Copies of this chain bind each other. A is one copy, B any other.
Amino acid sequence: MLENSFSSMSKRMKSSIIRELLRDTGIVSLISFGGGAPDPETFDREVLAEISKDVILNEYKFALQYGPTEGDPILKNEYIKVLKERKGINGLKPENLLITTGSQQALDLIGRIMLDTDSYVIVGHPVYLGAISAFKSYGPKFIAVDIEDDGFNIDQMEKEIKKLDQNKELSKLRFVYAVPNFDNPSGVTLSLEKRKALVDLSRKYNFMIVEDDPYGELRYEGERLPDLYEIAEGHNVLLLNTLSKVMSPGLRIGLIVGDSKIVAKAALGKQGVDLCTPGLTQRIAARYLQKGTIFERIKESVKIYRSKKNKMLDAIEKYVKIDGARWTRPDGGLFIWLELPKNFDTMELFEKAKKIGVAYIPGTAFYVDDRKSSAMRLSFCLPSEDEIEEGIKRIGHLLEIDR
């Protein structure tokens, strides 16, 4: 087959810079602040192992068989309970939920059912690149709005929306993509005021909000803020959730919550895409949620991650002695965003960093316009505290040499 006989969609696909950068590093002593993978020691493996065995032995007619595209009914019921207890979302029915093969599939399905090549999507700058890669293959145009210490620059967002309106293109604005809790990569939390303002905008100009909340349960400081979905009472919001950061990413359990018509459309898309998410991993997740111990377990993870986060903040304070450097102090999640003065190019520095045994994600990965960046995303979830100290020390040295 000839190269030029690939589809136009395939030409829009771009490899994740994270996956490429972190591929086969092969350096044994490498300390990686790169991926967003949780600490595997937080996985409740003894309990999951027993559940898995029981589920295969006793529920094999479901767990090992084809299942409904919409998801395991038992898992959906358990998720409805969790959303009620933890987020105060009432009145959800099974038809408001679609179980997906990880959050990534939720993002892809939303792109699939909502985006055309003349559509617009508003995102933050910086923005989670997995979402961009999912949406991008459907060819929309991105409008990027600055992320400030309390989230989106809402004024700038409204200005952009008004521009679309003036150009008679408002109906092509499909949605705003938002990670209100401990955003990836910035670690920033959208303030209550701005949450309300965003929901108001969505009502005023009648666009959807895709609210991605993988980290909400991983709060280390401060009080929980209401989800956009709650504030909007479900109107015009699709809420995405996942068990990847609080149970296990290897189970690949994601969730879309929203209007039943949109959910049905996404399920129709899923039929063609993978028929159903594995019955085995869904039923394991369902039985695990049913035990009711997950939130005690998450408390333990929160302790571990809080301590790692503080360790990293202390280490940055101690070792990053660059005038003008600034970094976020996230209330939760997995990431710290470190911005250096403009003369640094963190993409250029990346290879040097790898040579001295430390990896991060260069900021450029998180901009839809591929701009140069003097920032880096530092994930504190996977390395040990000693590795965090040592890794940040190495970065500090590198910056000293390079400035």
**Chain B contacts for A102, CB-based, 8 A:** 274-276
Q: Could you tell me if A272 and B104 are in contact, using CB atoms closer than 8 angstroms? A: yes
Segment among A13-21, A142-150, A346-354 that sits at the interface with chain B: A13-21
Residues of B with C-beta under 8 A to A133: 271-272
A141 at the interface (CB under 8 A from B): no
CB of A86 closer than 8 Å to a CB of B: no
Question: A62–B249 Cα gap in the complex (Å)?
Answer: 10
With A53-B49, A53-B53: A1-B259 Cβ-Cβ less than 8 Å: yes
Q: Quick check: which of A39-47, A221-229, A308-316, A391-399 contacts chain B, the rest being far away?
A: A39-47
Say how far A211's CB is from chain B's closest CB, in angstroms: 14
Compute how far the CA of A143 lies from the CA of B119 in the bound complex, rounded to whole angstroms: 31
Q: Residues of B contacting A76 with CB < 8 Å? A: none
Contact of A249 among B64, B119, B281 (CB under 8 A): B64
CA distance A149 to B65 in the complex (A): 31
**Nearest residue, chain B, Cβ from A235:** B1
Tell whether, in the assembled complex, residue B273 and residue A104 are in contact, meaning their CB atoms are under 8 Å apart.
yes
Across the interface, A1 reaches (CB within 8 A) one of B45, B112, B236, namely: B236
- Interface of chain A residues 20 through 48 with chain B (CB within 8 A): 35, 37-38, 40, 43, 45-46, 48
Contact (Cβ within 8 A) B265 A278: no
Contact residues in B for A206 (Cβ distance below 8 Å): 2
Among B6, B14, B60, the residue within 8 A (CB) of A113 is B6
Known: A43-B60, A269-B137. A8 touches B116 (CB 8 A): yes
CA distance A63 to B46 in the complex (A): 13
Within 8 Å CB of A61, what residues of B? 40
Contact at B35–A64, with CB atoms within 8 Å?
Answer: no
* A interface size (C-beta, 8 A): 84
B40 touches A64 (CB 8 A): yes
CB distance from A117 to the nearest CB of B (A): 9
Q: Verify B45–A60 contact, CB threshold 8 A.
A: yes
A54 to B48, CA, bound (A): 11
Q: Determine if A278 and B259 form an interchain contact, defined as CB atoms under 8 angstroms apart.
A: no
- Write out the residue numbers on chain B whose beta carbons fall within 8 Å of the beta carbon of A49: 52-54, 56-57
Q: Are A250 and B65 in contact (CB under 8 A)?
A: yes
Shortest C-beta distance, A178 to chain B (Å), equals 16
- Please give the distance in Å from A360's CB to the nearest CB on chain B: 18
Chain B: minimal CB distance from A77 (Å): 17
Would you call A251 an interface residue if the criterion is a C-beta within 8 Å of the partner chain's C-beta atoms?
yes
Partner of A53, one of B50, B65, B276: B50
Could you tell me the distance between the alpha carbons of A223 and B217 in the complex, rounded to whole angstroms? 57
Residue pair A137, B108 in contact (C-beta under 8 Å): no
Per-position binary interface string of chain A over residues 201-237, scored 1 when its CB falls under 8 Å from any chain B CB and 0 otherwise: 0000010100000000000000000000000000010
Q: Does A69 belong to the interface (CB within 8 Å)?
A: yes
Pick the residue among B10, B52, B108 that contacts A114 (CB under 8 A). Answer: B10
Chain B residues near A45 (CB-CB < 8 A)? 56-57, 60, 64
Known: A6-B113, A15-B271. 17 other contacts (CB 8 A): A1-B208, A1-B236, A3-B261, A5-B114, A5-B171, A13-B268, A45-B57, A49-B53, A64-B248, A102-B274, A130-B275, A133-B272, A137-B269, A250-B279, A250-B280, A252-B278, A274-B274
Q: Provide 7 A-B residue pairs closer than 8 Å at the C-beta atoms, listed in order of the A residue.
A: A2-B206, A5-B174, A7-B112, A10-B265, A37-B65, A37-B66, A48-B64
Closest 10 A-B residue pairs measured CB to CB?
A250-B279, A49-B56, A64-B248, A64-B250, A10-B113, A104-B275, A53-B53, A52-B52, A252-B278, A133-B272
